Structure 1
Amino acid sequence: MDLAHFTPGSGRLAPRAALRSDAPSLVLDGMWRFRLSPAADVPEDFADPDHDDSAWDELPVPSHWPLHGHGAPAYTNVSYPFPIDPPHVPTENPTGDYRRAFDLPEGWSGGRLRLEGVESYARVWLNGHELGFTTGSRLPAEFDAGPYLRPGRNVLAVRVHQWSAASYLEDQDMWWLPGIFRDVTLTRSTADVFVRASYDAGTGRGTLSFDGPGRLSVPELGVDGLEPGTPVTVDVEPWSAETPRLYDAVVACPEETVRLRVGFRTVAIQDGVLLANGRPLLLKGVNRHEFHPEHGRTVPYETMRQDILLMKRHNVNAVRTSHYPPHPAFLDLCDELGLWVVDECDLETHGFGQVGWRANPTDDPRWEEALLDRMRRMVERDKNHPSIIMWSLGNEAGVGRNLAVMAGWTRERDPSRPIHYEGDWSCANADVYSRMYAGHAEVEAIGRGTEDPLPDPELDARRRAMPFMQCEYAHAMGLGPGGLAEYQELFERYPRLAGGFVWEWIDHGLVHPEHGYAYGGDYGEPVHDGNFVIDGLVFPDRTPSPGLLDLKKVFEPVRFAFDEGVVRVRNAYGFRDLAHLEFVATVEAEGEQVARFALDVPAEGGEVKLPAAPPGEGERWLTVRAVLARDEPWAEAGHEVAWGQTRLSPAVPAALSRAGAGEGAAADGVVREPTTGEFTVRGPAAGEYIVGGGRFDARGRLVRLFGFDVDGPRLELWRAPTDNDRYGGLVAAWRATGLHRLTHRVDEVTTGDAGTGLAVRTRVAPAATDLGLRVTYRWDADGDGLVLTVEVEPEGGWTGPIPRLGVVMALPGELGDVTWFGRGPGEAYPDTGMAARVGRWSASVDAMQTPYVRPQENGHRAEVRWATLTGPGGRGVRVSGDPVFGLTARRWSTADLERARHRPDLVPGDRVHVNLDRAQQGVGTASCGPGTLPAYELRAEPAAFRLRFDPA
């Protein structure tokens, strides 16, 4: 069989809408007989209905055969895993033969065989008769089965080739996973209906019409027997992602009745602003691949629903179906639960960019039919969904003549939706200006209309009249992404900016017996892109990452601003008021709740007077929360939608005294309680120093604290590199400087006046460079505690940022319970952690780890006032800041964390490694996109910070 041809299929019926019909249907999913061959040139005798397949394996349909022990998955982002020589494919072409015997129900006549999705090339036989072939993996194909059906036993045979000419059109950033991965159905439905339901915001009325056979009725609207092509205007409630109002419609056709749900809405572009129902539309979106850690792109319905519920609960209002149309059930759920959708064609030729876009199918007329075929099949299948507000021509497919063909057909077929395509920045065939990973400064320039002009004045003027959308931004790979809040501020400031879609929804980690979750290279692929497929807002098991929690905060539809005695509540919804929410305020002192009261907030928002908080001591914070007043389809009453916080009393510099009350402070700011003989420094006659509850060796290193064996603290500049550090180039610069292999030289150990303290002067520096840091550790006894002052003075020509500045120490492993007063409950870094609020939190050391699929820096708790690490019986160590510090506690060292490639590589040790940071470098989104913003960069500069240690 020659697979190197451009024709997208043969024997297929015309594409039509996905509809719910009362026509008889027979689901052919289930266990099929299966045989895998290493090449395509296998005899076709298996299609004979009497072929003996008793020695074959069984394989569930839908599924991918590499996930069931037949071959192995492979991951690439850009690179094709075969030579770029279109339309040719390798001889070594895994080929799966499928057979399914089924009994035809009595009285059945006629029918269509419908394949919802097969990767990448399928030939189909029924009872030995070839029906045809199809390509376009993520799109349905129908064949006329009627002439070849017979009473009783029937045999369906399908041959699937992993590679075909069509594979050149499917170079999406995901696992290569062949097989029949969506449903297979025999149906007697033939109807095709196109319902058009627009909304006029000026009149509050909707206009309804349809194309197709039969007559349309919408009982709730009093529409009965509407004829095709005859519009009717009715009073309706509009559909939006916030208020997804649907009306049940029935189309009575001559041979069947089809049902669909109609939503009235209008999408338009006016004065460079994207509008829905006459109002500016701000997309708070995510890119979503179809993925399940065990089933690949065969995603169960309940998992689809879970995805949308998670999105809604995290204030996501839009999805781009990157980079292909999803299972049609997902779009039904978007209609029902409310998400704006950019539906993307199953087209990407990214790998041609590696050869200068030579022979790119997008610009080759021989591929025109195949590209147009994919666009037609998507539009025809999905045209009735109110959630779909744009059609996308595809992704990263370069520039070429075939895009104009696709766009021209689509505009003629459906002028009601704008067209999107990012790969051509001239926007010659698009209606919106779309970019990926534009930095904050460029996004602001576009919002202001001052971006760099195009060479063609006519195209430039056309593009400047378009709304701008970031179809991908804020690459959610590993720790991060940073910069979310700054992007959102720009989107909300400039009307031209229609928001965008964070990359991406889920980590594509496949369940693996050794690695926990596998990524590129874990199956021995000779060409792969490593863990670049692990770049989601949820982990493979769909646990929200800290990045998703931050995104929820950034996307909040309610905003709070505090002033003396009042809170200003702003409605940031686009299509509803605040009447569905309740507002609750709490006051906490040192993280303990001391008051709680409800707030009466007008439906339109506004300024609300706050009740007087009860008097008391300690650092006090007011938190206002907006929660659902009643159940919504996507969350129960009480679900938190938004929150805001303000400090009512100033922070207490808790490091200065045991009580943190600040009494008795000396002129230098250090609290000194009456000193007794037990606080004097002894040594070094016995080879050690003793300062209060601390024991130091002759070199001034703390080795015992309050009866616990310890190691440190000493200066730490390194962190286990994040994905953004690695892909953005920071790690290479840090390693070149030697920050991962610092040496520590002790120059002097001295005792203070009257033997009341200890000063350890050191030089910390990497080998092979003259860069260094003069570091002085000053220890003072204070009551039962120890105060540590760390002074840092850089030497040499330091350039560029450094990973962190702080101290690290090791405590006994028994101190595995942590309570802290600061931001939490999750991790936070300088440009992340918007979801972390000030409070009192508790967790085990184990629970403080963020389980990134590829281990990296994680778990940092920010702005900690004090923290206790305790073991059995509550005995342990308390650390306080002056006024705050960053806390990380792990059962492995930074070096252990850096060496790990998968979660199981991290083996807990017998120590708890504690980082107490003055500062860390920001995170950014440089794995794909801009690096850390200058405001969040950490430089080697003179610094001093203090910490207090007390027995807990």
Structure 2
Amino acid sequence: MSFRPTAYVEDVSPGSGALPPRAHASSDAPSLSLNGSWRFRLSDTADAEDDSFAAEGYDAGDWAEVTVPGHWVLQGHGSPVYTNHLYPFPVDPPRVPTENPTGDHLRVFDLPADWPAGGGAVLRFDGVESCARVWLNGTELGDFKGSRLPHEFAVGPLLKPAGNVLAVRVHQWSAGSYLEDQDQWWLPGIFRDVTLLHRPADGVRDFFVHASYDHVSGTGTLRVDSDVPGRVTVPDLGVDVATGEPVTVPVEPWTAETPRLYDGVLATAGERVRLRIGFRTVAVADGLIKVNGRPVLFKGVNRHEWHPQRGRALDPETMREDVLLMKRHNINAVRTSHYPPHPAFLDLCDEYGLWVIDECDLETHGFTEQGWRDNPVDDDRWTPALLDRAARMVERDKNHPSVVIWSLGNEAGTGRGLTAMAEWIHGRDPSRPVHYEGDPDCRDTDLYSRMYASHAEVERIGRGLDGGPRRRRALPFILCEYAHAMGNGPGGLADYQRLFERHDRLQGGFVWEWIDHGIAHPELGYAYGGDFGEELHDGNFVCDGLLFPDRRPSPGLIEYQKVIEPVVLTGDGTAGTVRVANGYDFADLSALAFSWSYEVEGEPVDSGTLSVPALAPGESAEVKLPAVPAGAPAGEAHWTVRARLAADTPWAPRDHVVAWGQIPASARPVPHVAATARPAAGDGVLTLGPAEFDARTGAPRTICGVPVTGLRLDVWRATTDNDDGAAWQSDLRFGLLWRELGLHRMRHRLDAVEPGEDALTVRTRVAPAARELGLSTVYRWTSDGDRLRLTVSTVPDGDWTVPLPRLGIRFGLPAADRVRWYGGGPGEAYPDTRTAARIGRWQSTVDELQTPYVRPQENGARIDVRWAELGGLRIEGDPAFFLTARRWTTEQLDAAAHRTDLVPGPTVWVNLDHGQHGIGSQSCGPAPLPRYHLRAEPAEFSFVFSPTDNGSPTSL
């Protein structure tokens, strides 16, 4: 028995024995997938077991089994760990702990009967975290680091027809872990494909497709360089040329909006390689990122790879689902944060059309805790590893037309290693610009990039008032991360988008991020940091996506879809026109069909088609709407105009709504109740019209025959992740300030109950304990005998220096299941997340009103509600209000850590809010803009209560 020292684990080099990187390709050469069930043994330390398991004939019959691709910690062996940027081990580069979970993997396989006898073979690993050592049939092949990058080994002479033994030792921690501190779960294992590739004699090892486009002449120039001479054919273009020989032909260009691919073949004496060619040219010119001569506006997302059961081990169906969801929600760009994705994902981006910033597998964020001291990117010993990572990304992905920008990595400080990477990439592929956000001087980059800059700062950059080095001021600008989509939010998306569209230099941004990284859990629903007993973790900061873990769109994604829609529809209802503006960068509007609908009080009255010219990108036109339908009823009216797909596309069916706009046509009549009924006292009860009140407190007991409990002013909401903010932020963290002020424990003092000639007036003061400030609040009840009107007046007392979370009334109903309302919908909306709220008539169950954020928080408000029906009551607002209804109290929601903590009770708690504080993005980005603050100032608002038609709890 012999032990191998772990020197290779802590070696800063990328490893030994692996072949040079090359392009990912599909060819007619045979291949054998080695995915599936592998034998597995877990050890506590890197030295705990000898390497005899790699020998032929080793009996692993008593080992466990794991699925490859996969992570062993998600298959019952150990536990996952989540940190944002703190290393979960002592920072002592390049050393790692002796307690280093190590997984030994064994796979015995036979070659197919038709496996060719001649030629060689390559064993390919597409992704292993974090360090692997490999043997085949007892012979060591080598070791490697670079978790999300491919590594290949020549194995031809070692193969035999049957009983091949592939052994892989995987260490959770290695020197490479210092380069992979990427705000995600630490999940060791062989999590991408393992494949045996036959390499025929005279087969292609590497090739580079150069396919540029000249927008002036409408021609493309193709040249395919190959290490082995051959011929390139593209039947649709009549191309048949030798490798290395350029040819220029008329082509349709590739763009994310028009992803035209040409099928071709690179043929050598030994192999035929499939080519998917997209002609396009990327350049930074005139201070702008241009594709095919035109500036582009990125409407993007950051995408970590994630599946709630399988972690980063994604299957093709999940990757396709991601791309289709992006396309259907108007997203046109992806930053592959913070590593190159599975190669199949880029194939899908080529096919369906997405701009891609391909990011290197590099982040050293944890070194910020020590002022970047010992940062590997500024240490020459690590530069070979950095260059290896850059090369493995570029060589693998260089033939994808969707990849328009290379990124050096993320949050790795600055240093000589990054400069070396940028110089190598510029030299190898000058056809694409280089990105890196952490380079404030833009010394190594071709564009200026920031993350989480405020709206004000972004505007200054757009206007060229940001200062900084001269080189930086001449470059285009993107927000590589913005609008942190954690929990309820992000807010302010529409305000950012208006800035992007107003200033040419601002070429868009990438929302952080695509999907919540919740891990499916039998007791908790979805687990996040700390749920596995981690001694160091960052809680639910890992759940910050536009999709819930099961890939259901969040309200944030619906809002983003509306904000970035490529056709803008606005209008003037009195003039009877709609303005149609084409926001595409390349496509005209010929693929869209337009329709109108005329709605009164949310009910469609008439509809039809709308003739819109095939406007070119950037063009707009005024289009006449039809006359108001004859016989349309009186009431508040809207025109709703929609742009739909006129035919099926690869990413969505015909009639998919790409954009919509709503144009007011007539105003809403204000609800009115004549104060004719008089309060009547008797037996401890005050009666006013259809309501009974407690004579002592003035609190309503029943309204329109429906029992009502606890009706009073409410200013508290279960704080959102964005309310609470991030610990490192210096601006106002509203959730913390609200709690310090005591707004979560307001007390209600009764000052007077005053029955009058035509009203019942109740005077109160609402204030937190231990504070002088408060809200003087008056409830005034009037009735016409059938309906009941409540007018609430509030006046702040004292020095209110922070806004309120909410302002409205809360009460409980004993029975309510179905809810109908006329107002904004169908989903939740808040002051700065309201763009996607369309005025109409909507219906839902109380349970369906809840938004299932992984960590429970304020959610589910419907905005601009004119009236709502639930629990036997019809409620009209003056002005329109926010509606929330749930089967638990705000306090119970506030205390919950997971959705499973929320237990429905017998009472439905209803909030009718005059105002809500904005949402913002302060879980990592900026707070809500001041115009979305709910200031403590005098306010008055009213609600009219009446019975629903049948006088019973609403049923639909």
Q: Same fold (TM over 0.5)?
A: yes
Partners of 1:115 and 1:183 within 8 A in 2:
yes
Letter in 2 for 1:111: A
CA distance in 2, matches of 1:890, 1:150: 65
How far did residue 718 of structure 1 move? 0.3
Q: Aligned residue for 2:775?
A: 773
For residues 179-258 of structure 1, what are the structure 2 equivalents within 5 Å? Answer: 179-189=189-199, 190-212=204-226, 213=228, 214-224=230-240, 226-258=241-273
Of the structure 1 ranges 181-190 and 47-56, higher mean CA displacement relative to structure 2 is found in 181-190
Structure 2 spans left out of the alignment, 5+ residues: 1-5, 727-732, 949-956
Distance (whole Å) between structure 1 residues aligned to residue 391 and residue 861 of structure 2: 49
From 284, 289, 297, the counterpart of 1:269: 284
* Match of residue 620 from structure 1: 637
> For the residues of structure 2 that align with 1:703 and 1:737, how far apart are their CA atoms?
31
1:29 counterpart residue number? 35
Q: CA deviation at 1:580?
A: 0.5
Task: Tell me if 1:152 matches 2:162.
Answer: yes
1:471 paired to 2:480: yes
Cα deviation digits, residues 529-556 of structure 1 (max 9, x gap)? 0000000001000000000000000111
Instruction: Report whether the alignment pairs 1:359 with 2:340.
Output: no
Shift of 1:577: 0.4
The answer (yes or no) to whether the contact 2:879–2:941 under 8 Å persists in 1 is no
Q: How does 1:489-888 map to 2 (within 5 A)?
A: 489-563=498-572, 564-604=575-615, 605-614=620-629, 615-654=632-671, 656-657=672-673, 671-672=674-675, 675=676, 679-683=677-681, 686-697=683-694, 698-727=696-725, 729-753=733-757, 756-812=758-814, 814-870=815-871, 876-888=872-884
Does the Cα contact within 8 Å between 2:330 and 2:658 map onto a contact in 1? yes
Q: Distance in 2 between matches of 1:879 and 1:366?
A: 70
Q: What is the Cα deviation at residue 191 of structure 1?
A: 2.3
3-state DSSP of counterpart to 1:463: helix
Q: Deviations over 1:410-430 (max 9, x none)?
A: 011000000000011111100
**Secondary structure of 2:170's aligned partner:** strand
CA contact (8 A) 2:592 2:646 kept: yes
The aligned amino acid for 2:413 is G
- Which letter does structure 2 place at the counterpart of 1:918? H
- Residues 595 and 613, structure 1, Cα contact 8 Å, conserved in 2: no
Contact 1:191 1:253 in 2 (8 A): no
For residues 268-309 of structure 1, give each alpha carbon's deviation from its aligned partner in whole angstroms, at most 9, with x where no partner exists: 111211111111110000000000000000011001001010
Shift of 1:735: 0.9
Deviation at 1:732, TM superposition (A): 1.2
Once residues 350 and 762 of structure 2 are traced to their aligned partners in structure 1, the CA distance between those partners, rounded to angstroms, is 66
Please report how far the alpha carbon of residue 108 of structure 1 lies from its aligned counterpart in structure 2 after TM superposition: 3.4
Range moving further from structure 2, 536-545 or 706-715: 706-715
Of 896, 913, 916, the match for 1:900: 896
Cα distance in 1 for residues equivalent to 2:284 and 2:51: 53
What's the counterpart of residue 86 of structure 1?
93
Q: Deviations over 1:77-120 (max 9, x none)?
A: 01000010000000000000001111123443420100010000
Counterpart amino acid of residue 887 in structure 2: R
Deviations 1:326-354 (A, max 9, x none): 00000000000000000000000000001
Alignment of 1:429 with 2:415, yes or no, is no
Give, in angstroms, the shift of residue 703 of structure 1. Answer: 1.6
Q: Is 1:330 aligned with 2:337? A: no
- 1:371 aligns with 386
Cα distance in 2 for partners of 1:929, 1:94 equals: 35
Give the 3-state SS of the residue equivalent to 2:163 in structure 1. strand
Q: Secondary structure of the equivalent of 2:467?
A: coil
User: Quick one: distance in 1 between partners of 2:762 and 2:160?
Assistant: 92
CA distance in 1, matches of 2:479, 2:188: 31
SS in 2 for 1:239: coil
Amino acid at match of 1:526: E
* 2:678 and 2:756 in contact (8 A); partners too: no
Between 210-219 and 158-167, report the one with greater CA deviation.
Answer: 210-219
Following the alignment from structure 2 to structure 1, what is the Cα–Cα distance between the partners of residues 163 and 921? 57
The alignment partner of 2:879 has SS state of strand
**In structure 1, C-alpha distance between the alignment counterparts of 2:795 and 2:467, rounded to whole Å:** 43
* CA shift for structure 1 position 254: 2.5
Alignment of 1:7-26 (within 5 A): 7-26=13-32
The structural deviation recorded for 1:713 is: 2.0
Q: CA deviation at 1:816?
A: 1.3
Distance 2:50 2:809 in 1: 68
Which residue of structure 1 lines up, in the alignment, with residue 910 of structure 2? 914
2:750–2:764 CA contact under 8 A, matched in 1: yes
Answer yes or no: is the 8 Å Cα contact 2:688–2:785 preserved in 1: no
Q: Secondary structure at the match of 1:198?
A: strand
The answer (yes or no) to whether the contact 1:112–1:142 under 8 Å persists in 2 is: yes
Q: Aligned partners of 1:530, 1:881: CA distance in 2, in Å? A: 39
Give the counterpart of 2:938 among 932, 935, 942: 942
Which whole-Å CA distance do the structure 2 matches of 1:157 and 1:883 have between them?
70
- For 1:434 and 1:255, locate their aligned partners in 2 and report how far apart those are by CA, in whole Å: 45
Whether the aligned pair in 2 keeps the contact of 1:651 and 1:883 (CA below 8 Å) is no
Matched, 1:170 2:180: yes
**What is the alpha-carbon distance in structure 2 between the residues aligned to residue 772 and residue 834 of structure 1?**
33
Cα distance in structure 1, aligned partners of 2:523 and 2:293: 54
* 8 A Cα contact 2:467 2:473, kept in partner: no
**C-alpha contact (below 8 Å) 2:832/2:920 kept by paired residues:** yes
Separation in structure 2 between the aligned mates of residue 282 and residue 108 of structure 1, nearest angstrom:
52
Once residues 24 and 773 of structure 1 are traced to their aligned partners in structure 2, the CA distance between those partners, rounded to angstroms, is 76
**Secondary structure of the corresponding residue to residue 648 of structure 1:** strand
Q: Measure the CA separation in 1 of the matches of 2:398 and 2:508.
A: 24
Equivalent residue letter for 1:648: A
1:431-450 alignment, distance < 5 Å: 431-450=446-465
Q: Which runs of 5+ in 1 are unaligned?
A: 454-459, 658-670, 871-875
| Shift of residue 432, structure 1, vs aligned partner | 0.4
Q: Equivalents in 2 of 1:565, 1:87: separation in Å?
A: 69
- Partner SS state of residue 81, structure 1: coil
Q: Is the 8 A contact 1:773 1:792 kept in 2?
A: yes
- Does structure 2 conserve the Cα–Cα contact (< 8 Å) formed by 1:652 and 1:883? no
1:883 deviation in Å?
Answer: 2.8
DSSP-derived class of the 1:291 partner: coil
Tell me if structure 1 keeps the 8 A contact 2:576–2:624. yes
1:214-239 per-residue CA deviation (whole Å, 9 max, x = no partner) reads 22111111111x22322111000000
Counterpart amino acid of residue 718 in structure 2: A
What is the CA–CA distance in structure 2 between the aligned matches of 1:222 and 1:28, rounded to whole Å? 39
- Name the CA distance, whole Å, in 1 between partners of 2:307 and 2:686: 58
- What is the alpha-carbon distance in structure 1 between the residues aligned to residue 46 and residue 570 of structure 2? 65
Following TM superposition, by how much is the alpha carbon of 1:147 offset from its aligned partner in structure 2, in angstroms?
A: 2.1
Question: Is the Cα–Cα contact under 8 Å of residues 72 and 78 in structure 2 kept in the other structure?
Answer: yes
Give the deviation of 1:148 after TM superposition. 1.4
TM (normalized to structure 1)?
0.96
The amino acid across from 1:752 in the alignment is: G
1:809-829, Cα deviation, whole Å (9 max, x unpaired): 1011x2211100100010110
Partner SS, residue 499 of structure 2: helix
**Separation of aligned partners in 2, 1:45 and 1:69:** 25
Note the 1:31-46 alignment, pairs <5 A: 31-41=37-47, 42-46=49-53
Determine if the alignment matches structure 1 residue 344 to structure 2 residue 353. Answer: no
